[in-house]
Chains A and B, each alone.
Chain A
Amino acid sequence: MKWIVTMVYCLSFSAWAHPVAYEDAFSFMSINSADRSENTLVYSPKWWLGTGVMHVQKGDHKWTNLHLGLLLKRWNNWESQGNLYLFGGPGIEQMNGQEKYFTRTGVQADWESRKIYTMIKYTSTITDWQNQESYEGRVGFAPFLAGFKDLNIWAILQVDHNPKATQQTEVTPLVRMFYKNVLWELGSSLDNKWLINFMVRF
Chain B
Amino acid sequence: MKALLMSLALLVSIPAFAKDKVEVKVKGMVCSFCANGVEKKFSKREEVEKIDVDLDNKLVTIIFKEGKIIDDDTISKLVTESGFNVAGIEKKKI
Which residues of A are interface residues toward B (Cβ below 8 A)? 18, 21-25, 46-47, 74-81, 112-114, 145-150, 152, 178, 180-181, 183, 201
B44-61 residues at the A interface, CB under 8 angstroms: 53-56, 58
Q: Which residues of A contact B28 (CB under 8 A)?
A: 74-77, 80-81
B:22-42 near A, CB below 8 Å: 27-41
Complex contact B34–A22 (CB within 8 A): yes
The listed residue with most A CB atoms (<10 A of its CB), out of B35, B36, B41, is B36
Q: In the assembly, what is the distance between CA of A161 and CA of B38, in Å?
A: 35
A23 proximity list for chain B (CB < 8 A): 37, 41, 81-82
Main SS of the interface on chain A?
A: loop
Closest to A83 in B: B83
Pick the contact of B36: A18, A77, A146, A180 (CB < 8 A): A180
Q: Which residues of B contact A148 (CB under 8 A)?
A: 32, 35, 39, 53-55
Expressed in whole angstroms, the minimum distance between the Cβ of A139 and any Cβ of chain B is 16
Residues from chain B with a CB closer than 8 A to the CB of A46 are: 81
Interface string of B2-32 (1 = CB under 8 A from A): 0000000000000000000000000111111
Bound Cα distance from A47 to B84, whole angstroms: 10
User: Of all chain A residues, which has the CB nearest B26?
Assistant: A76
- Tell which of B32, B38, B81, B84 touches A152, judged by Cβ atoms closer than 8 Å: B32
A76 to B79, CA, bound (A): 12
B32: chain A residues at CB < 8 Å are: 146-150, 152, 178, 180
Q: Is the CB of B33 within 8 A of A152?
A: yes
| Centre residue among A25, A112, A150, A183 by max chain B CB count within 10 A | A25
